[in-house]
Amino acid sequence: MSDFTPPQGLPSKGKPSRLVRLWTRLRTINMGRSAVITIPSLWLGIFFFIPFLVVFKISLSESAIAIPPYTAMFAWNPEDAYLTIKASFSNYLFLFQNDFYLDAYLSSIRIAAVSTFFTLIIGFPIAYMIARSKPTMRTLLLSLVILPFWTSFLLRVYAWIALLKKNGVINEFLMSSGLIDHPLIMLQTNFSVYLGIVYTYLPFMILPLYTTLEKMDITLLEASEDLGAKPYQTFFLVTLPLAVPGIVAGCLLVFIPAVGEFVIPSLLGGSNTLMIGRVLWDEFFLNRDWPMASAVAIVMLVLLVGPIMFMRSRSKREEV
């Protein structure tokens, strides 16, 4: 569209011809499309790509006792007009040679994957119920799903501490009802981390699923029933395949932030709960090793974004 040129030999006076009006309209549409694409591209460039380059540059430097605590990558000698570029890959080599960081990556992926699975198991029935409820009730039910966002994230995590500790509400209720004789150890365990992540990110799973299920054609379910399919067969053969886009979107919205979660493992998890977010915090603020922390962040970003981009490109090829 951008290569379209106005036709030659058009009259210069009088009322514009239909061809001129068409060319003007196409030119306006092309400018509008360019503006729509430019704005998000600038946003991603300023707030994602440029910070990514800065972090990547820091990861190629070396730690130093200075402000900032790393060596300069570029050094300019004005007398000789000589530019020196010093890039060190020692941080990445140490990262792959040390089992501590590998264990942190694997532990983060495992905790995020298990939490995403349980979030899907809990969120799918809720989203399906909201999508199949009366239109007058959907707004109320969606408001209840979004309501936790009106409260501080930190306060919601602290509330789970009051519920899960030895003398908390849950243990007091179980002991008073005679179900247990001794308090259960729920806080500072992996169980509390899973519970906190599932509770926190559950709305991110419900909303994409609801959007997909709400648009699903009900007549397909009726046709499946008329053909003699049982309810569970209709679910696995009709409902579940049509809900795949919502499932993929919800899983990505939960899994990606859960991998780098820091607050929930720090407050609810124990000393054995190792996640990459805690490693980043320790490297940045305790060890003050910014180059190593930047290398950890870059590798984590590649591990998350790389497979997603590969799956997306593969799905596009299959569509073509």
pLDDT digits (tens, 9 = 90+) for 238-278: 999 999 999 999 999 999 999 989 999 989 987 778 899 88
Three-state DSSP at 250 gives: helix
Please name which of 190, 38, 217, 210 lies closest in space to residue 114, comparing C-alpha atoms: 190
Give the pTM.
Answer: 0.81
What phi-psi label fits residue 184: left (phi over 0), alpha (psi between -120 and 50 degrees) or beta? beta
In percent, the amount of the chain with pLDDT more than 70 equals 89
What is the dihedral sign for C-alpha 252, 256, 258, 263? negative
Parallel, antiparallel, or unpaired: how do β-strands 82-85 and 74-77 relate? antiparallel
User: Looking at residue 5, what is its pLDDT?
Assistant: 52
Residue 87's φ and ψ, nearest 5 degrees, are -120, 130
Q: Which residue has the tokens 């792959």?
A: 96
How many residues comprise the chain? 320
Q: Does domain 98-288 have CATH number 1.10.3210.10?
A: no
82 pairs with which residues across the strands?
Answer: 77
Return d(Cα 164, Cα 6) in angstroms, integer: 72
Q: In this structure, how many other beta carbons lie within 10 angstroms of the beta carbon of residue 256?
A: 15
Higher pLDDT, 220 or 1: 220
Of the pLDDT bands very low, low, confident and very high (cuts 50, 70, 90), residue 2 is very low
Q: Which residue has the tokens 């989203």?
A: 127
Given a contact cutoff of 8 angstroms between Cβ atoms, the answer to whether 154 and 263 are in contact is yes
Where are the domains positioned within the chain? 1-59, 98-288
